[in-house]
Structure 1
């Protein structure tokens, strides 16, 4: 049986957390999966094809933004190696990590909880935590696939720019104030002026339209953002 890719690990873990009542989003501020349930603290899950020092170090970094961090790896054929090794489980308990194992012995992947996150509380970075929560709250839906590499991630900022581009595509041109009113994006003027992606063209002072790159982006990212209803 071929080894499971990181993107194959993401879906069963996401479904597992959603079954516990969490809302789950992928690739948020460098974290593979971030889950939230009401006002509870966020849960971060880091995925890897095998248990490595790199995964542990990555999870240590995530403790700066979340108290509840899980490692998630595929199951091993033997019950005394990899995530099942008692030394690995002891390490997780010492640091405070949770440990998830994804198995597909019956064809359909299942998630087993080997360890729950413990009470370890390192000094957190409030600024990074605020960034993570802000990105999670502002992002619409879950447009990315956890574990993806070599693809452009859809961030909340990119979604906002796409929503502005969508309105310009329908109307032809508009002012920042008109776009802010149509989309509810209060910083529409700043997004247009910065034009990070090269999607907008200024027709005249205070009037914008789409650039050729903007039309291409709307096609490329269609379905990755919520469009604006038109009366």
Structure 2
């Protein structure tokens, strides 16, 4: 048995497990380690999974908070953690009482095994519809699976918003300066004006009223993020 050294070691086995069950899977969506979405009878079925190398109260509280986004919330832990090896029956009872689902990951050298020990049930608090809508929007608009679930985002993640900003920056890198309206028209980016005006990442310089170019920071960081984006597709 291989001992997972970081939460991202659990990500790929779970992603592969869910994809065989027709889920679309992405990591680090709105602070959720894993979000999996499947169309079921015309509705979007959302699974949220939190990854941890240890079972503790912080993980349980985090999972309970995710019930505002979905009825189907799971925690995923390695099979070989001491508390589960010694007290698996008690662990299962505790998690079931909270209405949380439990996934166990057994990582071997040649093969990893994923077992759904129990499914969510009983505890069903009211959903936060705006947060749920934001979660699905980020999931659907982000291109590709750009972050491993459980990864620490030192420079921020390759979110859908950053991907849109990259498209605007690429345009300015090629044409040197433009208005938001021009960018909107030529690359069909409806948020071009807002992205330029807010300049959240400091990538743009205002040349004159309504006209922007790519800043020195933008030129340098565009190279980095294009490489990240390429590797994520």
Segment of structure 1 superposing worse, 65-74 or 204-213 = 204-213
Deviation at 1:203, TM superposition (A): 1.5
Q: Across the two proteins, how many residue pairs are aligned to each other?
A: 225
Return 5+ residue gaps in structure 1 as ranges.
227-231
The separation in 2 between residues aligned to 1:178 and 1:225, in whole angstroms, is: 24
Higher strand share: 2
Q: Is the 8 A contact 1:168 1:209 kept in 2?
A: yes
Higher helix share: 2
1:104 and 2:104 are equivalent in the alignment:
no
The equivalent of 1:139 in structure 2 is: 142
1:12 and 2:13 are equivalent in the alignment:
yes
The equivalent of 1:28 in structure 2 is: 29
SS at match of 2:75: strand
The equivalent of 1:90 in structure 2 is: 93
The separation in 1 between residues aligned to 2:63 and 2:181, in whole angstroms, is: 43
The separation in 2 between residues aligned to 1:111 and 1:122, in whole angstroms, is: 28
Deviation at 1:43, TM superposition (A): 0.6
The equivalent of 1:173 in structure 2 is: 177
Deviation at 1:73, TM superposition (A): 0.5
Q: With structure 1 as the length reference, what TM-score do the two structures score?
A: 0.90
The equivalences for 1:60-209 within 5 A come to 60-76=64-80, 81=85, 85-105=88-108, 107-151=110-154, 152-209=156-213
Return 5+ residue gaps in structure 2 as ranges.
none
Q: Is the 8 A contact 2:13 2:113 kept in 1?
A: yes
Q: CA RMSD in A?
A: 2.0
Residues 45-95 of structure 1: per-residue CA shift (max 9 Å, x gap): 00000211111111001111111011100012779636x611211122222
Q: Is the 8 A contact 2:54 2:81 kept in 1?
A: no
Deviation at 1:4, TM superposition (A): 3.3
